[in-house]
Chains A and B, each alone.
Chain A
Amino acid sequence: MGTTSTVLLWVLGVLALVGGVLVFTLNSMARVTFALLGSLVCVGGVVTVLRLPYLGVVIVLMMVMEMVIMAVFMIAYMMNPAGLMPMSMLHNKRGSLVISGLVFAALVVGIFLVPWPDRTGARLEDTTFQVGMSLMGDQMLTMVTLGFVLLATMVGATVLATRRGRYDRFGDDLDQRPANDSAGGGVGR
C-alpha cells in the first residue's frame, strides 16, 4: 500500500467518522441525511482505495439514491425537518452512550489483542472479475438467496406501504375494469 493510498484512507476515514457523528448531532433533517450520505460515500471511497473499485463505486451510486429517497421520508415523518426549532428526540441517552462506548472499547481491545493471521494468497489483478466469478460460481446460492430477499422486499414493502388493496382498485367483485386508481398512470388510461 503506497503513501497516496494511506493518505486517502486517513482522509476518507476521518471524514466518514465526522459524518457519522454529525448524523446524530445536527438538527436539520436534510443535513442529517446528507451527513450520512457523506459518511457512506467515504465508506465507498475506502472500499475503492482497498482495490475494490467496482464495489466502491456501486456503494457510492447506491447510497446516493438511497439517501435521497431517505431524505423524502425524513422530511415526511419528522416534525422539525429544517431544524429551525432545535429539539431533542432522544431517549436513554446516557445508557446508549455507555453501551456504545463499552462496545467500542471492547472492539478496539479485541482489534489490537487478537493475533491476526498473515495474508494468504495473492490479489487478482481484476477484482471486479473476481467478485463476479464468485457470485456466479461457488457463491451462487448466496446470489440466488439475495435475489429472492430483494424480490420479497419489493413485494412486502409495497404491500405494507400501500393503503389500497385489490378490492379498492377492482371493486367488490373484482370485475371493475379499468381499475379505479387515483393516479392516472401512463399506459393507456
Chain B
Amino acid sequence: MAEAGTWWALPAAPAMLLVFAVLAVAADAALDARNAGRRITAHTAVRPLLAVPRALLAQPRRLPAPDRLLWRAGVITVPVAAVLATLVIPFGNRVVADLSVGVVWFNAMEVLTWAGLWLAGWGPNAAFSLVGGYRFLALGLAYELPLMFALISAATGAESLRVTDIVGAQHGLWYAVWMPFAFVLYLAGVLAFSFLGPFAYPLGRDVADGVLGETSGVDRLLLQAGRWLWLAAGAAMAVPLFLGGGAGPGLPAWAWSLVKTLLVLAVLVWTLRRLPMLRADRYVELAWVVLLPLSVLQALVPALVSLTR
C-alpha cells in the first residue's frame, strides 16, 4: 500500500519530525504556563524557542581536559539517530525507506541513544555528567527489553518486520486494542529513550542536571533537541505499529496519520508531566520482575493468534 519514497520525502520526513518536536515543546511550555497560573498566549508557547538563538550565540563553556571528539560524537548521535529512525516510519501512504527490517532498524537507531548519551556524559570530564551517563545505561537495561518485546508483539501479529506490512495487517482491528499492554510498554519506552518526564533520571536535579550539566551552546541545544525529536519519532512510530497507520474513515491517509500522531504526542506530553521521576534501581526491579514477564506473555498472544490463523 505504501508508495516508494519520492525525492521530496527525504527532506520532508526530518522537517515534519522537527515540526512535531516543536509542537511538543510548545505544548509543554503552555502546560507550564497553565500550572503557573499565567495566561496561555501564543507568546508563552513559542517562548522556549527563543532558547535556540540564545544557545547559538552563547559562548561555549571551557572545561579542563574534555574528550572533545567523543563528546561531539555523542551529542550529535542523539538527534541524528532520531532522524534516521524516522526513515522507516510511514506517514499516510508514504515512507522514505520501506526497509524489510524496519522495526529492527528503528530499534537499532534507538539503541544508538545509549552510546550517544553515555558519550555526552563522558566527554566533559566531569563527575556529575558521567553519573548521568551511567544512569541512562541503568535505565536502558531496564526499559530496553520490555520495549523490544512490545515491538516484537506488533511484528509477530503482522508476521513481518516491515513497518508498512504491520500497518496493512491491522485492517479492522488496531494492535493497540488487542495488545494494549505492548502499546503501554511501547509508550513507556518512548518516554525512556527520549529521557523525558519520569525517565529524566540521567538529567536529574540531584546530579546538577547530569548529562546536560556541563553542556553549553550548540551542544546543549542538540541534546535538548534530541530528546524532543525522539519523543516525536516515538509518537510517529506508535501510529503505524499500534494504531493502524493512516487507516480511517472519510479523511485521506495522511490526515489520519497526522491526527493520530498529534494525539499520541499530546498524550505523551501530558503523561510526562504527570509522573514523578523514577530512580533506575527501582525501575530496573519493576522492569525485570513485573514488566518483562508480562511483555513476554503479551508477545505470546499474537504468536498464538498467528499460529491458529
Contacts and interface: CB of A to CB of B under 8 A. Distances in A.
A and B touch in the complex (CB under 8 A): yes
Q: Considering residues B104, B108, B122, which has the most beta carbons from chain A within 10 angstroms of its beta carbon? A: B108
A64 B116 CA distance: 10
Interface string B123-158: 001000000001001001100100000000000000
29 contacts: A28-B67, A30-B67, A31-B67, A34-B73, A37-B115, A53-B99, A54-B104, A54-B161, A57-B101, A57-B104, A57-B108, A58-B104, A61-B104, A61-B111, A65-B140, A68-B114, A68-B115, A68-B137, A68-B140, A69-B137, A71-B118, A71-B122, A84-B65, A126-B100, A185-B281, A185-B285, A186-B281, A186-B283, A187-B286
A115 B278 CA distance: 61
Contacts of B285: 185-187
B112 interface: yes
B290 interface: yes
A30 B70 contact: yes
Given A65-B144, A184-B281, A72 B134 contact: yes
Contact of B122 (A30, A183, A184): A30
A28 B69 CA distance: 12
A84 B141 CA distance: 30
Nearest to A56: B101
Given A30-B67, A53-B101, A187-B286, 15 more contacts: A30-B122, A31-B70, A34-B70, A57-B101, A58-B108, A64-B111, A64-B115, A67-B115, A69-B141, A82-B65, A128-B100, A184-B282, A186-B282, A186-B283, A186-B284
Interface in B74-127: 99-101, 104-105, 107-108, 111-112, 114-115, 118-119, 122, 125
A64 B65 contact: no
Interface of B: 65, 67, 69-70, 73, 99-101, 104-105, 107-108, 111-112, 114-115, 118-119, 122, 125, 134, 137, 140-141, 144, 161, 278, 281-286, 289-290
A65 B140 CA distance: 9
A187 B290 contact: yes
B194 to A, nearest CB: 17
A31 B69 contact: yes
A64 B282 contact: no
A60 B101 CA distance: 13
Q: Considering residues A68, A82, A183, A184, which has the most beta carbons from chain B within 10 angstroms of its beta carbon? A: A68
A128 B161 contact: yes
Contact of A54 (B73, B101, B112, B284): B101
Contacts of A68: 114-115, 118, 137, 140
B281 A65 contact: no
Contacts of B125: 82
Closest 4 CB pairs of A and B: A186-B282, A185-B285, A186-B286, A61-B108
A67 B111 CA distance: 11
Nearest to B77: A64
Contacts of A84: 65
Contacts of B144: 65
B71 to A, nearest CB: 10
Contact of B108 (A60, A67, A71, A185): A60
Given A57-B108, A65-B144, A82-B125, A34 B115 contact: yes
A34 B111 CA distance: 14
Contacts of A37: 115
A79 to B, nearest CB: 17
A65 B286 contact: no
Given A126-B100, A185-B281, A65 B67 contact: no
A71 B120 CA distance: 13
A31 B99 CA distance: 32
